[in-house]
């Protein structure tokens, strides 16, 4: 009986020691984790940890958000255009056949430069009529002077002098009219007769369209060339009728060219608001460029923002807001424990607003409002790259 009781007591002692040692080992394991630097929490998909060396290499810098006055405005589309006086249609005043032209679309021309040479048999008749009229003018002038002398000597009656004066004046008018017609046609006034006339451009600019070829027959109503002078380009915007009450003269317009991959921003000022509504329920709004650029071309598509008011909103430098897919994000510093010198950053989705002067308006999620956040203002894309690479490796 005694051996059985002794065996039961020893078995109880052994079981009690096993239960007490298990929690101790668990406690020791828990206490050892911080010493080894391992985190007890699982890594979250929106958080990234960098060592001190990685932070220095990525050029990370933190800052708080700042409230800045930013422009609230209408987002509209439009094109670059020129005023009517800067777009010239060139025709042959008397028509004929195109004998010569070397112009190509886009060629730069100067005022008075020859665009084409036109041949027309009627040019000879015009010059003949002028030379004959000029000869008649010389005779009429001589007769006028002779009758004047006779009238002063009281040899001839006054009516002869008046008749000679009227004929001389009429012939002078006819001669001047025919000379003007020759100049209008591009023909020489006097001198040797020619069968060709030069078509010249009335202003400098670029050839927008070439509508003729050598040998083609043209009439005075045919447009041979179109010349555009881009020195005074303006922005023509299409604004929906519901938004027109917000648009005022002298408002600032910020726009970027549709073909500009860099997205360089330019500015203009509204100077004219249309008074008619198109079939698309839009109104044309015209704005003068603040800085003219010869590289800009008429007809270029633009994306613009018309500044209708200015409000103070939370902003960050543009480099602080990163784009991944269709969503914009910012990175904020966290207080998560880690190895010495390391730091953790959390990616927070935001709504991007207006960008101006290197700063971007943004809106935080409701859960982040009121927190003392420190934002990554430089090196945000380095964090995004490391975070997404880590996800792919997993």
Q: What is the CATH number of the domain that holds 275?
A: 2.40.30.170
Q: In the prediction, which pLDDT does 337 show?
A: 66
Q: What mean pLDDT value characterizes the chain?
A: 82
Residue 20 forms part of a structural domain: no
Last residue of a domain, one of 228, 243, 261: 228
Residue 4 forms part of a structural domain: no
Residue 17 forms part of a structural domain: no
Q: What residues make up the domain containing 209?
A: 85-228
Percent of the chain with pLDDT over 70: 86
Tell me how far CA of residue 166 lies from CA of 23, 130, 173, 224, in angstroms.
Answer: 134, 19, 11, 42
25-29, 78-82, 84-88, 190-194: least confidently modelled range: 25-29
CA distance 46 to 324: 13
Residue 342 forms part of a structural domain: yes
Select the more confidently predicted residue: 309 or 237: 237
Residues 210 and 275 in one domain: no
Mean pLDDT of 314-327: 86
Mean pLDDT of 238-267: 85
42-51, 205-214, 264-273, 293-302: least confidently modelled range: 42-51
Confidence check: pLDDT of 132 > 60? yes
Confidence check: pLDDT of 25 > 90? no
In terms of average pLDDT, the best of 163-172, 316-325, 366-375 is 163-172
Tell which residue, 134, 97, 93, 89, has the closest CA to residue 117: 97
Confidence check: pLDDT of 331 > 80? yes
Residues 240 and 381 in one domain: yes
Tell me how far CA of residue 333 lies from CA of 66, 103, 341, 359, in angstroms.
Answer: 17, 63, 14, 20
Mean pLDDT of 212-226: 92
Tell me how far CA of residue 89 lies from CA of 47, 93, 386, in angstroms.
Answer: 64, 12, 59
The total domain count for the chain is: 2
Residues 117 and 177 in one domain: yes
Residues 240 and 210 in one domain: no
Q: What sign does the CA torsion over 175, 180, 181, 185 have?
A: positive
Q: What is the CATH number of the domain that holds 177?
A: 2.40.50.100
Residue 46 forms part of a structural domain: no
pLDDT tens figures, 40-81: 344 457 788 888 888 788 788 888 888 887 766 788 999 998
Q: Is residue 146 exposed (0-12), middle (13-18) or buried (19+ Cβ within 10 Å)? A: middle
Q: In the prediction, which pLDDT does 135 show?
A: 92
Residue 297 forms part of a structural domain: yes
Task: Pull the structure tokens for residue 202.
Answer: 């009335």
- The SS3 of residue 127 is helix
Residues 155 and 172 in one domain: yes
Residue 36 forms part of a structural domain: no
CA distance 234 to 87: 13
Select the more confidently predicted residue: 361 or 339: 361
pLDDT tens figures, 145-197: 998 988 888 888 888 989 999 999 999 999 999 999 999 888 888 878 899 99
166 close to 221: Cβ distance less than 8 angstroms: no
């Amino acid at each position: 009986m005694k051996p059985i009781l002794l065996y039961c007591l020893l078995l109880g002692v052994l079981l009690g020691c096993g239960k007490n040692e298990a929690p101790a080992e668990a406690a020791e394991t828990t206490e050892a984790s911080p010493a080894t630097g391992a985190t007890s929490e699982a890594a979250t998909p929106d958080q990234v940890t960098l060592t001190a060396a990685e932070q220095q290499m990525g050029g990370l810098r933190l800052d708080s958000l700042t409230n800045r006055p930013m422009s609230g405005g209408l987002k509209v589309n439009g094109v670059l255009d020129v005023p009517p006086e800067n777009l010239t249609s060139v025709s042959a005043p008397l028509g004929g056949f195109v004998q010569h032209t070397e112009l190509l679309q886009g060629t730069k021309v100067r005022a008075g430069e020859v665009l084409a040479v036109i041949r027309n048999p009627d040019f000879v008749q015009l010059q003949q009529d002028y030379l004959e009229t000029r000869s008649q003018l010389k005779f009429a002038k001589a007769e006028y002077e002779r009758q004047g002398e006779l009238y002063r000597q009281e040899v001839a009656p006054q009516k002869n002098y008046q008749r000679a004066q009227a004929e001389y004046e009429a012939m002078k008018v006819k001669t001047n009219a025919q000379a003007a017609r020759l100049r209008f046609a591009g023909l020489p006034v006097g001198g040797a007769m020619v069968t060709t006339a030069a078509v010249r451009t009335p202003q400098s600019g670029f050839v927008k369209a070439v509508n003729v070829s050598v040998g083609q027959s043209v009439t005075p109503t045919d447009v041979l060339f179109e010349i555009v002078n881009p020195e005074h380009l303006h922005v023509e915007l299409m604004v929906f009728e519901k938004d027109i009450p917000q648009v005022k003269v002298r408002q600032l317009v910020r726009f970027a060219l549709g073909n500009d991959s860099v997205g360089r921003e330019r500015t203009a000022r509204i100077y004219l608001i249309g008074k008619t509504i198109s079939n698309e329920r839009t109104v044309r709004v015209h704005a003068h460029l603040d800085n003219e650029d010869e590289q800009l071309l008429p007809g270029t598509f633009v994306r613009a923002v018309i500044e209708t008011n200015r409000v103070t909103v939370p902003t960050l430098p543009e480099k602080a807001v990163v784009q991944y897919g269709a969503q914009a994000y910012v990175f904020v510093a966290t207080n998560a424990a880690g190895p010495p010198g390391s730091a953790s950053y959390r990616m927070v989705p935001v709504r991007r607003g207006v960008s101006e002067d290197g700063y971007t308006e943004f809106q935080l999620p409701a859960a982040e409002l009121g927190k003392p956040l420190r934002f990554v203002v430089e090196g945000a894309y380095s964090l995004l790259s490391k975070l997404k690479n880590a996800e792919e490796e997993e």
